[in-house]
Chains A and B, each alone.
Chain A
Amino acid sequence: MKEIVILSGKGGAGKTSLTAALAALAENAVLCDADVDAADLHLLLAPETRERHDFVGGGKAHIDVERCSRCGKCLEMCRFAAISQDLRVDDLACEGCGVCAWFCPEQAVELREHLCGEWFISHTRFGMMAHAALGVAEENSGRLVSLIRREAAALAKRQGQDLLITDGPPGVGCPVIACLAGAALVVMVVEPTVSGRHDMARLMALTRHFRVPTALVINKSDINAEMSAAIVVEAAQNSIQLLGHVAFSPLFTRAMLAAQTIIEYAPASEPARAIQEIWRKLVTIIASQSATLPMSPPR
């Protein structure tokens, strides 16, 4: 089983629209939405949930006011300023390190696990999909990303399917790093803007650091043709293969409004044809990779 992860650095570059289009073109692929704190792939793929599971977070400090002698030791030791002067825990600041619980002389503090989100195994018209919803204002997004990718890979294995297509989150931080271990190929979706180019450089540095093969799609390429050309040169200098250009098209928004992929909504359109060409190149690249890297073990 091999996994293609769609990333972009900068948000709004078109990761989800591209992922959904690839899902429509792929046969025998399992799909994974790893953008767990702002997941959108389900809006195009209309998954029917088959399994629903809780995602439980590492714990937040809870002070038992009956036992608490108000000595203030917890307040003094917390490096995250998560305990207020009146000895209340701020859940949004608490990292769940447990230092307060360990040192409380009255044993009045305990760490309570809490529900941080949910994850799902669902059926879509293009195959099975693993996806998740992190609760609003929750942490551990990296852990949930690792979990959902592991589940998606297990699902692919059970179904005897050899490709996993993962829609990744924006940025280069914790949830993106959690998308890289074991990925066969990262597809960067980049828009030709100063911001898109700047963020691509950081994403390239990240995938190089983790030694994940990387390819490039330029989306909305005609918004700034000069910038598109500069991005192609920069990618080539970094040995990154160009998969293709997709021109700006209002069809993407229209397809989204119809809850369809661009492949279904406008199969003969220029952007749909461009993505078909990208897909053909992707298949070749994936097929030419010899060994499949194992998934990393859970943390």
Chain B
Amino acid sequence: MNICLASGKGGTGKTTIAVNLAASLDRPVHFLDCDVEEPNAHLFLDLAWRGEESVSVAVPEIDPARCNACRKCLEICRFRALTLIKGKMLTFPELCHGCGGCQLVCPEGAVSDGKRLLGRLRFGDWRHITFTGGESRVGEAMSPPLIRAVKGQAKESELTIIDAPPGTSCPMITALRGVDFAVMVTEPTPFGLHDLRLAVAAARRLALPIGLVVNRAGIGDERLADFARAENIPILLEIPFDREIAAICSRGQLLVEALPVWRREFQRLFWRIERLCQGLDAA
């Protein structure tokens, strides 16, 4: 089973919920940090690092001895990652999406696969949690291929918990697609609700079952609860706004460790998700 924690708005508590959910369980779980631009989950888990691996995308490398400036590669590239200046072909690897078109189309075999570093995967362990985290190279614009690489580390049979990036565009969609259940983490404020609507629309487009975790409950108004009811989205857990909770999280501590009453709540959250995945009532 794959559970993805997502939200439209950033900073609603995706990582907090994801790490505490994983930590609360009594069974092995593979944690995938797919928020590769700002990965934070490892800050909450006392991981023993096992290793890392770099992830690259194939970008064109042009052999000037073979290139006869026929311009075929310029014609196929839709990302303006190549240009011809004074008869010499130049590449802009940071614009390349890695489609391989230039290489396929070159009649002289002058284009080979170079590499642009996207970032790295990091592997670690803590208690029953196996951890794989992606971290993009600072300056790298494209995160979906690295997110796919993180997800590629999961095995079919495993229970996985995925921490997704915020937003509703390609990085968020890449993290979310193919999972069994989307947990939307939000807060009951106008910003939280506005962005939740977008995130729910994205998850609906992927035909995913959705549940809601309301973080900082009590700070806003009733509109979020009204929306959840109207959209028939179950509220699976509410965490009140509390300065002590905020301070615990700010230090990188797990809620389920610092305030053990929460362990139970997170276990119940998992139970509900599991029931909903099986199409059962989770009240």
Contact = CB atoms under 8 A, between A and B. Distances in A.
B258 interface: no
A224 B247 contact: yes
B181 to A, nearest CB: 18
Nearest to B37: A171
B37 A173 contact: yes
A267 B76 CA distance: 57
Contacts of B38: 9-11, 170-172, 195, 198-199, 202
A235 interface: no
A175 to B, nearest CB: 8
A193 interface: yes
B170 interface: yes
Interface stretch (A136-144, A154-162, A275-283): A136-144
Contact of A256 (B10, B173, B189, B250): B189
Given A137-B173, A194-B250, A250-B219, A259 B190 contact: yes
Contacts of B205: 92, 136-137
Interface in B244-280: 246-247, 249-252
Contacts of A223: 243, 246-247, 250
Given A40-B9, A194-B251, A202-B38, A136 B194 contact: no
A38 interface: yes
A77 B141 CA distance: 24
Q: Chain A interface mostly helix, strand, loop or mixed?
A: loop
A99 interface: yes
B41 to A, nearest CB: 9
Interface residues on A, range: 35 or more
A97 B194 contact: no
Interface stretch (B24-32, B60-68, B100-108, B121-129): B100-108
| B104, B105, B143, B166, most chain A CB atoms within 10 A | B166
B132 interface: no
B80 interface: yes
Contacts, number: 195
B39 to A, nearest CB: 8
A253 B165 CA distance: 23
Contact of B98 (A58, A79, A205): A79
A173 B171 contact: yes
Interface string A42-66: 0100000000000000110000000
B221 interface: yes
Interface in B122-178: 136, 138-143, 165-173, 177
B167 A37 contact: yes
A10 B142 contact: no
Interface residues on B, range: 35 or more
B11 A10 contact: yes
Contacts of B95: 299
B166 A38 contact: yes
Interface in B220-240: 220-221
B49 interface: no
Interface in A191-207: 191-196, 198-199, 202, 205-206
Contacts of A173: 37, 136, 140-143, 171
B168 A136 contact: yes
Contact of B202 (A10, A137, A192): A137
A253 B219 contact: yes
A89 interface: no
B71 interface: no
Contact of A224 (B10, B40, B141, B251): B251
Contacts of B211: none
Nearest to B146: A173
A120 to B, nearest CB: 16
Contacts of B8: 37-38
A171 B232 CA distance: 31
Interface string A1-30: 000000011111100100000000000000
Nearest to A170: B10
A176 B171 CA distance: 13
B10 A12 contact: yes
Contacts of A248: 243, 246
Contacts of A102: 76, 101, 104-105
Contact of B100 (A99, A172, A177, A192): A99
B138 A139 contact: no
Contacts of B10: 8, 10-13, 38, 170-171
B166 A174 contact: no
A182 interface: no
B12 interface: yes
A246 to B, nearest CB: 15
A176 B201 CA distance: 23
Nearest to A299: B80
Given A12-B11, A38-B194, A79-B58, 7 more contacts: A10-B11, A37-B167, A95-B97, A95-B99, A99-B76, A209-B139, A227-B251
Q: Which 6 A-B pairs have the closest CB atoms?
A: A11-B10, A12-B11, A97-B99, A194-B252, A171-B37, A193-B250
15 contacts: A11-B9, A37-B198, A38-B9, A77-B100, A92-B206, A96-B78, A97-B97, A141-B167, A170-B37, A195-B15, A195-B38, A195-B43, A199-B38, A257-B220, A299-B95
